[in-house]
């Protein structure tokens, strides 16, 4: 079954808006795990707008030996203040997976993937360093009907891609998902032909996930946070996680 990794960034956003320790990100993780999720995702950023390095460390201690830990981030972002950099965090906590994302401070959220033809040589030494730590490396990429540099990505040691599904979610909401979904399908097919496994994430929801899952055979993992946490406000976190797992089945 496709693994569900719950992104807990929005729990940290709510906590940070008030200060203090509530809601407790570790308690949220426990609830998701008890409901059956297979992984927890966080995306710490240098500006500390949501998940912070102390959260990354606390979750590592909680998750070890229980579910997969996926840390997302920009590997090129320089350390600043309390943020030591993505590689340094990975060196400390040894997550099962790192997802490399080309986001900058000016982005409200991740809104594009790597241009592998342009970025592959910059990524090469970093991918090698994450692999040396025992981390599986996934690269965040845009969906496209055109062939991308997936053979080169595999050659430098990447093991997965994560398809940026924001455009698909927007098209689904506009009741015109076919073209965007086909771009995701083509991207998955090209990646799998290169020997890469396929993850997906961004604005996936209970409404649009089922069609996406059916369209992409062998989908390894989905990382879902914003919609899941929003839906949990109405139905509860554990119930919402179980609803997503039922869709993935």
> What is the CATH classification number for the domain harbouring 36?
3.20.20.70
Task: Quote the CA–CA distance of 55 and 45 in Å, as a whole number.
Answer: 12
pLDDT (average), residues 217-228 = 97
Provide the residue range defining the domain that includes 105.
Answer: 3-248
CB 134 within 8 A of CB 159: no
pLDDT (average), residues 28-50 = 97
CB 25 within 8 A of CB 12: yes
Half-sphere exposure of 32 (CA within 13 A, CB side): 32
Query: CA Rg, the chain, in Å?
Result: 17
Q: What's the pLDDT score for residue 103?
A: 84
The answer, yes or no, to whether residue 108 has pLDDT greater than 70, is no
Range scoring the smallest mean pLDDT among 103-107, 148-152, 207-211, 225-229: 103-107
The answer, yes or no, to whether residue 112 has pLDDT greater than 90, is no
Task: Quote the CA–CA distance of 229 and 201 in Å, as a whole number.
Answer: 14
Number of domains composing the chain:
1
Neighbours of 50 (CB within 10 A): 23
- Provide φ and ψ at 3, rounded to 5°: -75, 135
Q: What's the pLDDT score for residue 176?
A: 98
Known catalytic residues are 43, 72, 202
Mean pLDDT over the full length of the chain: 96
Token pair belonging to 168: 């698909």
Q: What's the pLDDT score for residue 60?
A: 98
pLDDT (average), residues 177-182 = 98
Does the reported pTM lie above 0.85?
yes
Q: How do the residues of the chain divide into helix, strand and coil, expressed in percent and rounded to 5?
A: 50, 15, 35
């Amino acid at each position: 079954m496709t693994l569900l990794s719950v992104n807990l960034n929005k729990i940290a956003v709510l906590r940070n808006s008030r200060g203090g320790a509530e809601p407790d990100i570790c308690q949220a993780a426990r609830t998701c795990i008890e409901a059956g999720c297979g992984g927890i995702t966080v995306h710490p950023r240098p500006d500390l707008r949501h998940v912070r390095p102390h959260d990354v460390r606390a979750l590592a201690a909680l998750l070890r030996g229980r579910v997969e830990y996926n840390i997302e981030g920009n590997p090129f972002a320089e350390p600043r203040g309390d943020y030591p950099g993505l590689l340094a965090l990975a060196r400390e906590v040894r997550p099962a997976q790192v997802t490399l994302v080309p986001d900058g401070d000016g982005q409200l959220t991740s809104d594009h993937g790597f241009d592998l033809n342009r970025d592959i040589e910059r990524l090469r030494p970093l991918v090698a360093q994450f692999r040396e730590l025992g981390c599986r490396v996934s690269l965040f990429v845009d969906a496209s009907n055109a062939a991308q540099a997936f053979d080169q990505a595999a050659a430098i040691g990447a093991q997965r891609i994560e398809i940026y599904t924001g455009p698909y979610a927007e098209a689904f909401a506009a009741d015109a998902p076919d073209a965007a979904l086909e771009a995701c399908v083509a991207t998955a097919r090209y990646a799998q032909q290169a020997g890469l496994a396929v993850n997906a994430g961004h604005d996936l929801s209970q409404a649009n996930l089922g069609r996406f899952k059916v369209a992409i055979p062998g989908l390894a993992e989905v990382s879902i946070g914003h919609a899941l946490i929003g839906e949990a406000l109405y139905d509860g976190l554990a119930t919402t996680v179980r609803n997503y797992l039922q869709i993935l089945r």
